[in-house]
A and B are shown apart, each in its own frame.
Chain A
Amino acid sequence: DIQMTQSPSTLSASVGDRVTITCRASQSISSWLAWYQQKPGKAPKLLIYKASSLESGVPSRFSGSGSGTEFTLTISSLQPDDFATYYCQQYNSYLGTFGQGTKVEIK
Chain B
Amino acid sequence: EVQLLESGGGLVQPGGSLRLSCAASGFTFSSYAMSWVRQAPGKGLEWVSAISGSGGSTYYADSVKGRFTISRDNSKNTLYLQMNSLRAEDTAVYYCAKGPAGGGVIADMDVWGQGTTVTVSS
Residues facing B in A37-56 (CB within 8 A) are 38, 43-46, 49-50, 55
Contact B95 A43 (CB under 8 A): yes
Assess the A97–B47 pair: CB atoms within 8 A: yes
Whether, in the assembled complex, A69 has its beta carbon less than 8 Å from a beta carbon of chain B, the answer is no
Contacts of A50 in B (CB 8 A): 108
Total inter-chain residue pairs, C-beta < 8 Å: 58
Q: Size band of the A side of the interface? A: 20 to 34
Residues of A contacting B106 in the complex (Cβ-Cβ under 8 angstroms): 91, 93-96
Judge whether B47 and A1 touch: CB under 8 Å.
no
A44 neighbours in B (Cβ, 8 Å):
37, 45, 95, 109, 112
Nearest chain A residue, comparing its CB with the CB of B57: A94
Please, how many angstroms separate the alpha-carbon atoms of A45 and B59 in the complex?
A: 22
A49 touches B108 (CB 8 A): yes
> Which residue of A is nearest B49, CB measured?
A96
Contact A1 B45, beta carbon cutoff 8 Å: no
Residue of B37, B107, B108 with highest tally of chain A CB at under 10 A: B108
The answer to whether A1 touches B110, judged by C-beta atoms less than 8 angstroms apart, is no
A1 pairs with B62, CB closer than 8 A? yes
A95:B47 contact, CB within 8 angstroms = yes
B→A interface (CB under 8 Å): 35, 37, 44-47, 50, 59, 61-62, 95, 100, 104, 106-110, 112-115
Pairs across A and B, CB under 8 Å, 8 listed? A43-B95, A44-B37, A44-B95, A87-B45, A91-B106, A94-B59, A100-B44, A101-B45
